[in-house]
Amino acid sequence: MTNHANATVTYGRGGAGNVTTKTKHSPSFEPQTTPSLKSKTYTTGRGGTGNMAKNDFEHPEEARRAQDVDVPAITIPEGVHHTGRGGAANLYKPTEEEQRKARAHNEKVRSDSFNKERSTIRSLADKTKETLTGSHSDDK
């Protein structure tokens, strides 16, 4: 019988970087914890003083939320397009119904993105007001 614990395994498309030995056990699961910020201020965005905010130690979730990055929504091609690596066999022409659904989906993505940008502007105004007045939005 073969000892599968030390069997050589290949994966991917080939090459020496895709060869390893198979281990008997999977790595153990370790729950991850979100670190909390310890400094009085934190940064968001790409830098600059406009991206500095006061850290409210009583509301650590706000600092975490400010630093989270949203993944942009995916738009769907509305007309004829290529899939895969190219070539005539990968040309796809959607039906009128698929084009209509793609247009509706893409319009929703654009609308949601615009609304999110507007709420970000409002959040920035609130953050500036809080910094200047030293108050927190929950203090009302």
Report the distance separating Cα 1 and Cα 4, nearest Å.
9
pLDDT digits (tens, 9 = 90+) for 78-112: 999 888 887 888 899 999 999 999 999 999 988 88
Instruction: Give the SS3 label for residue 128.
Output: helix
Report the distance separating Cα 68 and Cα 86, nearest Å.
36
- Quote the pTM value: 0.39
Give the residue carrying structure tokens 């281990």. Answer: 23
Q: Which domain holds residue 61?
A: 36-45+52-70
In a domain, 129, yes or no: yes
Whether 77 and 135 share a structural domain: yes
Whether 130 and 92 share a structural domain: yes
Token pair listed for 73: 């929504």
Q: What is the percent of the chain where pLDDT is above 90?
A: 14
Is residue 140 scored above 60 in pLDDT? Answer: no
Whether 76 and 139 share a structural domain: yes
Q: How many domains does the chain have?
A: 2
